Chain A
């Protein structure tokens, strides 16, 4: 009796769950499908869902017309580059705060967080002028630098919450055995910290990849990452839906897959440890 009821209950929730899930996912699915249509089929009424002639021509055209791979490379260089630099700066800081906390550690953490809450538009004018004067507008180096600063507080915070979970006793034991600070970091801390660092890295790459304030305001054609490149489709070019879809599919696919892997760490990173 009870089992029959719970199976029926499960079946009902299966239907509701899948309908809700597919509804939320639909715009992405629709983009994916449209990317394999011809421009004619893409705007056809009634819309063609699955039974159309699938074609790969949009992907070829997008690359031919606009050197798509250049923007893809820009996105990769910027998101991975800013993440690695950010980690290099943040790992020592988070290590120090987690294992040698002082009275001021908490204040420093809160202050770092507060820089993240500074609206970008509050510093848009000076950053733009500095970039213009130093010839950094539309340059990969400049934008990577900005992304480092934008994500640094989140990286420090996330690493800090992971490092804090490493038992301090182990470090002390290593120290008692005569391990130097360097050896302590290399042989004891690093192996335990790697999972946390990896999750932080994923989140930082995702955030940098999708950053769309600075990338839109500080780049033109040379250093434009995918966010800025896709924005160009808001012009009449946007009427080419199949090509827009192909460009979009390529732009979101890698990060969507990374995101799916990082989903559990996402909560911790984005709530600064306030929800675990």
Chain B
């Protein structure tokens, strides 16, 4: 009796969260899917008509699409490379005892709490500005020609900015994983004569493998949706050099008012993200059993 009672109330308690999320996910996604099959432009109201898969053809064959796809992949890969390598290095560093370690850790994780628009603008103006920026000053001081970062190497610049924001996330997760490493194992290896290098490769890295996978998957999900950093620095330009899939859909929707094409692009973005999400969900699901 008691269990039946509990089970009913448990269902009631879950209902609001489940129903709201269901509505949030199914309704708009269904609408996107529906719009993606229509010729539908906000500038021509009342002219909606069925067009089948034309929007997909149009979006996928748009020369901007292949560039945007390449940019998206480069952005994700570049940021992952920097954050995983840098995060591992910082985590190992923060795992060593030294004076003021607690404060250094606060300094290292700080960028994660800076809102995207602020970090993008601070980097764009105060650091990367070709004339008055700090990097330009450093370049001139050592006798080099200052680089106009966001004009000459725009995608690389955005990768650097985004990597700076996500470095703390990787560091913090890898540090947490590192701290759960059995000290005795490391000591035993040391006694057996393993050097710092081989201890890192044969004991620390395998132990971190799982955490690194989590970092890669979760960051990928978020990185596929990078938007604000591009909007306030380059607006996707010069040309389409920093246009990602997310940004391309935004352009179609809110600047060209082409609901149909934008919706097709949205669906494609969903499919791309799902490929990653499947792996992540499996990994987390496995963890849930233990």
The answer to whether A binds B is yes
Interface residues, chain A, with chain B CB atoms under 8 Å away: 10-11, 13-14, 16-18, 20-22, 24-25, 27-28, 30-31, 34, 42-43, 45-47, 89-90, 92-93, 95-97, 99-100, 102, 106, 108-110, 112-130, 148-149, 152-153, 156, 175, 181, 206, 209-210, 212-213, 216-217, 226-228, 230-231, 233-234, 238-239, 241, 244-245, 248, 251-252, 255-256, 258-260, 263, 266-267, 270-276
**A28–B111 touching, CB < 8 Å:** yes
Q: What secondary structure prevails in chain B residues at the interface with A?
A: helix
A117 touches B277 (CB 8 A): yes
In the assembly, what is the distance between CA of A21 and CA of B111, in Å? 11
* B17 and A156 form a contact (CB under 8 A): yes
**Min CB–CB distance B116 → chain A (angstroms):** 4
Please indicate the chain A residues that have their CB under 8 angstroms from the CB of B126 in the complex: 27, 30-31, 34, 42, 241, 245
Q: Which residues of A contact B101 (CB under 8 A)?
A: 17
14 contacts between A and B (CB under 8 A): A17-B96, A17-B98, A27-B122, A31-B122, A96-B10, A96-B13, A99-B10, A118-B273, A122-B266, A125-B262, A210-B113, A234-B232, A241-B126, A256-B113
CB of A248 within 8 A of CB of B211, answer: no
- Given A30-B126, A117-B280: A226 in contact with B115 (beta carbons within 8 A): yes
Partner of A124, one of B2, B103, B169, B266: B266
| Minimum distance in angstroms from A68 CB to a CB of chain B | 14
Name the B residues within 8 Å of A116 (CB-CB): 221
Contact A30 B134 (CB under 8 A): yes
Contact A112 B21 (CB under 8 A): yes
Instruction: Indicate if the CB atoms of A210 and B116 lie closer than 8 Å.
Output: yes
B269 at the interface (CB under 8 A from A): yes
Contacts of B111 in A (CB 8 A): 24-25, 27-28
CB distance from A205 to the nearest CB of B (A): 11
- Residue B123, interface by CB 8 Å: yes
Shortest Cβ distance from B21 into A: residue: A115
Q: Is B259 an interface residue (CB 8 A)?
A: yes
Q: Which residue of A lies closest to B180 (CB)?
A: A276
Say yes or no: A25 contacts B116, CB within 8 Å: no
Given A27-B122, A121-B246, A271-B214: A263 and B172 interface contact (C-beta under 8 Å): yes
A234 in complex: contacting residue of B12, B27, B164, B231, CB < 8 Å: B231
B25 to chain A, nearest CB (A): 5
Q: Is B32 a contact partner of A251 (Cβ separation < 8 A)?
A: no
B149 at interface by CB-CB < 8 Å: no
Q: Write the residues of chain B forming the contact surface with A, with a CB cutoff of 8 angstroms.
A: 2, 6-7, 9-14, 16-18, 20-21, 24-25, 27-29, 31-32, 35, 90, 93-94, 96-101, 103-119, 121-127, 132, 134, 137, 141, 164, 167-169, 172-173, 176-177, 180, 210-211, 214, 218, 221, 224-225, 227-228, 231-233, 245-246, 249-250, 253-254, 259, 262-263, 265-267, 269-270, 272-274, 276-277, 280-281, 283-285, 287-288
- A93, A123, A252, A258: the one contacting B17 at CB < 8 Å is A93
The residue in chain B whose Cβ has the minimal distance to the Cβ of A161 is B288
Of the candidates A17, A119, A127, A260, the one whose C-beta lies within 8 Å of that of B273 is A119
| 8 A-B pairs with least C-beta separation | A92-B13, A21-B104, A126-B31, A212-B228, A123-B28, A259-B113, A96-B10, A100-B10
Of A96, A120, A124, A231, the contact of B231 (CB 8 Å cutoff): A231
User: B103 — which chain A residues lie within 8 A by C-beta?
Assistant: 21
Quick one: which of B20, B115, B210, B284 contacts A252, CB cutoff 8 A?
Answer: B115
Chain B proximity of A113: nearest CB distance (Å): 6
Given that A30-B122, A89-B16, A260-B106 are contacting pairs, would A20 and B273 also be in contact in the complex, using a CB cutoff of 8 Å? Answer: no
| A22-B107, A227-B116 known; A273 vs B284 contact (CB < 8 Å) | yes
Q: List residues of chain A with CB within 8 A of the CB of B106.
A: 260, 263
Q: Is the CB of B132 within 8 A of A43?
A: yes
Cα of A125 to Cα of B116 in the assembled complex, Å? 22
Asked if residues A231 and B117 are in contact (CB atoms below 8 Å), the reply is yes
Query: Do residues A152 and B10 form an inter-chain contact, with CB atoms below 8 A?
Result: no
In the complex, the answer to whether A128 meets B173 with C-beta atoms within 8 Å is no
Q: How far is the CB of A236 from chain B (nearest CB, A)?
A: 11
Question: A79 vs B283: C-alpha distance in the bound complex, in angstroms?
Answer: 30
B9 touches A17 (CB 8 A): no
Instruction: Give the residues in chain A near B6, CB-CB below 8 Å.
Output: 100
